[in-house]
A and B are shown apart, each in its own frame.
Chain A
């Protein structure tokens, strides 16, 4: 408890090493991480969080680098949490996002932290959100979250940030792919990056028509911005889109509503995680499970019936079963 306070004090005083070590404590998990996050939580909520997501190779890191340069020119301090996939075979990872972020180098106003996904199946893990909390408490004005490359289904990201930027490229696929992509539904800003390549105009037009369909329900017209990092085009338009989304959220309590929704989702997932972990540690359930599985394999009961019986048996035993662990 005392060590958390010291670390937190140093972190709030602006000591980079303290922020960095705090992130490692959280990465390592366990009771130390929980207690630090508990102390940290009241210090969070000030930073603006922007998530960049999209397929691998869409140019997210390079685009973030340009946004960093613009935001620094406005005098904002920045924290970046960049997630890359862990190898499912070795558990190791190569985290290469820093290479593209040259504007971060040699500037104390930019703090970049790389994170391996460690088996998380979403583009941004819950851990990325917790590291963003540290950046927030560390006093960064802006926290940029870079997801690893994602496919069509990535909706959790909307709970991770105030503004979600989805980055696509002309190679992303035809308009049907675009229509069915869950990614579009979470976008506050759509970017067609590498717009110097053929097909950019057509993709942008498709995206605009999809975005227009959604405008009425949200009161926000999702802008479609074409950018090219190599030709330094469209970065000002992206910056303007970020600013106008920020202004939009600042009206009518929208930001608070969004933050509440994000926290609700976060707590919900943590509850599920806990219940699930407790569930399979229950020895009576395990014994019952093995017995009933035999009946399922032998055709004497169905999977659904087995599940219903197991859940009912557990519920009946619930009042005194969940307190004696840990």
Chain B
């Protein structure tokens, strides 16, 4: 079994409490980092090439390097919105190991020169938010947060900010708008948040899992990190497996682990001997893979080559007993509900497609309906303000293409 990084403490009962966490070697990374120069940390992070775990896979060190050295406050926003259907990994990190995330937050903030961080957590995770708040208050008490942390002269405040039910607020610029107290409508980019972000100030936005990797990178070095997973895509991922498997749950494995093995070995194979039909490999926004396409390493580039994406590494397993029309219905229902309504192709397109699919599911569809779905989805693709439009169009197009025969048989 490969060595665990993020979930190494999950078997321990009280590691969410600071005393137990410190007993396990916790906060050593912060101590080490505060003795380094911020530039040294940035250098190491660039070398580690830690790719963002929120979905897009952008290297964290490069992102931090974009923050301009201006005389303005800078902010860190931790993306804990976890709204991508199929995704539940950040919930595990935050509830089992909140201090590992806090260490990542402290080190990132020190490196970039940030004195104020907000953890934007989805509103439904009330219990997790409370746990984070307890962890934060423990960290203040021990001098790991607040003024002059461990006599380093570095100050940092961290607070938890709860969302209120809107998938779009996981998109980084919508998250900023929401945190500022507005409707969660995305902003036009550029300017990118690194230069104009929260309260018009330079801002770093990173996912919970991304940040939680940082303490171990600081302790063990970039070479250790790139030695796990793949050279250009190092470390582990927490794969969340759900759907028709025997053992749904989270599995922390090296990046590049074969999807087939994740399903058959780690997640116990198909539920009650059911047969595999399709897999969504990276959260609902990822195009589907057919049963004969799952012999594939789970890393960003391999999935792009397979015309899908690794996204949030949420694996949804679909069996032959499930109709792809029902899958399509769930997908289109979700996006038509979650479109923020700002741009026309996404607002009208998603709800129109959803209406057609519902009609098809009632047995009132025609061949033209499938063509219409493809036409409408193609007209969303690449024509919207934020990536939600693409995220809606891509899975729809992949189902229409790969399962067209089945859809036609349901007409």
Q: Do A and B come from one complex?
A: no
